Amino acid sequence: MQIITTINEMKAWSAKARRESKTLGFVPTMGYLHEGHMSLVHKSLAECDVTIVSSYVNPAQFGPNEDLDTYPSAPEKDRDLLLSAGVDVLFRPAAGEIYPKGYKTYVSVEGITAKLCGISRPDFFRGVTTVVLKLFNIVAPDKAYFGEKDWQQLAVIETMVRDLNMDVEIRRMPLLRESDGLAMSSRNRYLDSSERNSALLLSRALKMAQEKTKNGERSANKIRDEIRQIINESSQAKIDYITLCDPYNFEEVTNLNGKTLAALAVKIGSARLIDNCILESV
């Protein structure tokens, strides 16, 4: 596995792979890899000739009072994981490579970024789309892999790729959970054992919502209220939002019909956790 730290080297590596008619798979990450990330890596390894994983904690997607400075990192462990998986390149851009002095250009998706996570994190999606577009231009992948844990982010990236006529295929991969139901996330690392217990309420509430829907409940208000009740069982949980909405335009629904996204963001201790599932009503 090659570790590349400069944009020029990364571009040269990709250009060579392309000239050799190889298909390029790409998994962008912020490091501190867990099984969720690795499921994307394995899918890319299975589908593409070569796989590039980037590891870059993108300052542009953090707000002023967020956890940029404390975001967990484990570079050696990440490297070993990717090496044993058989990844071809770990792209770990050095400081100043991505946003050099005088940097001025940003990519924004309107509308869908103003909802859900966009309300409490107004610059988050702009940071994500900007860095993802840059990474796509640098790596020039055929396919890029993202997890449905960040459902809204995925919809935003799909919109950008379509609107800007980019040639990369976005591959959606399912959210992975720990054995007790907690959605896998690098930020779970922030939780002490009592907070981790509270965090289980998120997946428990979503499971309840799925069961209610399966049993015929069609009122979004009722399901939302019950989710809220479950989350509020813990005094440590501060709800950011709970939504039942269209999975693509994020408009709130009143009556469940077809596929509805149930999504929530909850702050527990210093961790802002998100989780989601699809409610299927027929």
Chosen residue from 33, 82, 160, 201 binding a second copy by CB under 8 A: 160
Tokens matching residue 187:
């930020």
Chosen residue from 20, 69, 76, 167 binding a second copy by CB under 8 A: 167
CA gyration radius, the chain: 19
For the annotated catalytic residues, the residue numbers are 37
Of 165 and 193, CB closest to a second copy: 165
Of 55 and 188, CB closest to a second copy: 55
Tokens matching residue 172:
């959606």
Tokens matching residue 237:
């949980």
Report, in Å, the least distance between residue 257 CB and a second copy. Answer: 21
Phi then psi for residue 254, to 5 deg, are -100, -40
- From residue 120 to residue 139, the character string flagging contacts with a second copy as x (rule: CB under 8 A) and all else as - is ---------x---xx--xx-
**Interior/surface letters 1-10, b for 16+ CB within 10 angstroms, e for the rest:** eeebeebeeb
157-162: long-range contacts, CB 8 A cutoff, minimum separation 24 = 157/128, 157/129, 157/132, 159/109, 159/112, 160/107, 160/109, 160/129, 160/132, 160/133, 161/136
* Binding residues for a second copy, total number by CB under 8 A: 24
Chosen residue from 109, 182, 191, 273 binding a second copy by CB under 8 A: 109
Tokens matching residue 68:
């940029």
- From residue 79 to residue 108, the character string flagging contacts with a second copy as x (rule: CB under 8 A) and all else as - is ------------------------xxxxxx
Report, in Å, the least distance between residue 169 CB and a second copy. Answer: 14
Name the site residues for a second copy (rule: CB under 8 A). 7, 11, 103-112, 129, 133-134, 137-138, 159-160, 163-167
